[in-house]
Homo-oligomer: A and B are copies of this chain.
Amino acid sequence: MTLLVVGSVALDSVSTPFGETADALGGSAVHFAVAASLLHPVQVVGVVGDDYPVGELDRLAGRGIDWSGVERVAGESFRWRGKYSYDLQSRETLETRLGVFADFRPRLPAGAENARFLFLGNIDPELQLDVLNQVKQPELVVCDTMNYWIQSKREALLTLLKRVDMLMVNDGEARELSGDWNIHRAGRWILDHGPERVVIKQGEFGALLIERDRTFHVPAYPLEEVFDPTGAGDAFAGGFMGYLARVGSVDTDHLRRAMVYGAAMGSWSVSGFDVKGFEGVTTADVEERVRHFVDLTHIPIAEQIS
């Protein structure tokens, strides 16, 4: 069950109340792949400039990440610089430099056209469509997006929505896309525009899986220390897709469990800068954290009281 992701491979400079990084490993495809690879091998499609520390990517390759679909071209890598508020609840983008991403045309590595599980990370919806068109018979297509594309490429995004199984966005993006403040109505609006399901990530408040007739909620893992929220949503997606690719199923029970694997990955993502929160984390650690989620949310069944 090949798992394929397309997204940014970036250099992030992040400032939080707890420290800062400069030109550190980042981008949606990187955060996704590091999390997903704890559960299943993953192929990455993207582009970097000749200034990228590819040695660091190679180091991560041992985890089961295939970077052969990441083109290396002359020029500057994609860079993002941002600063978080004291409570990590909001962030300001200080600088975005597209670099080699500006002229990126995705090309799939060998075998990737047969991918069964496809995650279209947060990039231009036209590029997301381009990748989707190259994959023959995906079993599950999930896409992410952000306010920038919602505003600047709305038509392409709506075209894409009709062709994906699931949209996975945060609450602010769901509101902006739908124009509705209520998160459950926003979810329904999205279902009315194509996807069969929508996942709405709510940061420290967990995530919702909204289907037409049923909703599932997973909380965030209780953490007393959070260092850097950057990439947590992509790590969530990586855990979600990695689990589904591993079990080779998209039935409702597995989707619910996939939400929990996503939330588990999100908890490690925020526990360190760039991808450091995942250092030393094993598949057994993931299993243990998933069991913790089961306890965290378990409602004991009781006799009827009425």
Verify if A154 is at the interface (C-beta below 8 Å from B): no
Verify if A59 is at the interface (C-beta below 8 Å from B): no
CA–CA, A305 and B258, complex, Å: 12
Q: Is the CB of B182 within 8 A of A296?
A: no
Please pick, from B218, B287, B298, the residue contacting A306 in the complex, using a CB distance under 8 A.
B287
Interface string of A196-237 (1 = CB under 8 A from B): 000000101110100000111111001111100000000000
- Tell which of A67-75, A104-112, A129-137, A246-254 binds the partner: A246-254
Verify if A257 is at the interface (C-beta below 8 Å from B): yes
Interface size on A, residues (CB 8 A): 50
Interface residues of A in 258-306 (CB under 8 A from B): 260, 283-284, 286-287, 293-302, 304-306
Question: If the complex has contacts A202-B205, A224-B188, are A215 and B296 also in contact, measured as CB distance less than 8 A?
Answer: yes
Question: If the complex has contacts A39-B305, A202-B205, A300-B253, are A222 and B226 also in contact, measured as CB distance less than 8 A?
Answer: no
A185 to chain B: closest CB distance in Å? 5
Which of A215, A283, A297 has the most chain B CB atoms closer than 10 A to its own CB?
A: A297
Q: Which residues of B contact A184 (CB under 8 A)?
A: 222-224
Q: Which residues of B contact A148 (CB under 8 A)?
A: none
Q: Is the CB of A297 within 8 A of B294?
A: no
Verify if A87 is at the interface (C-beta below 8 Å from B): yes
Verify if A256 is at the interface (C-beta below 8 Å from B): yes
Q: Which residues of A contact B (CB under 8 A)?
A: 39, 86-87, 181-185, 188, 202, 204-206, 208, 214-219, 222-226, 243, 246-247, 253-254, 256-257, 260, 283-284, 286-287, 293-302, 304-306
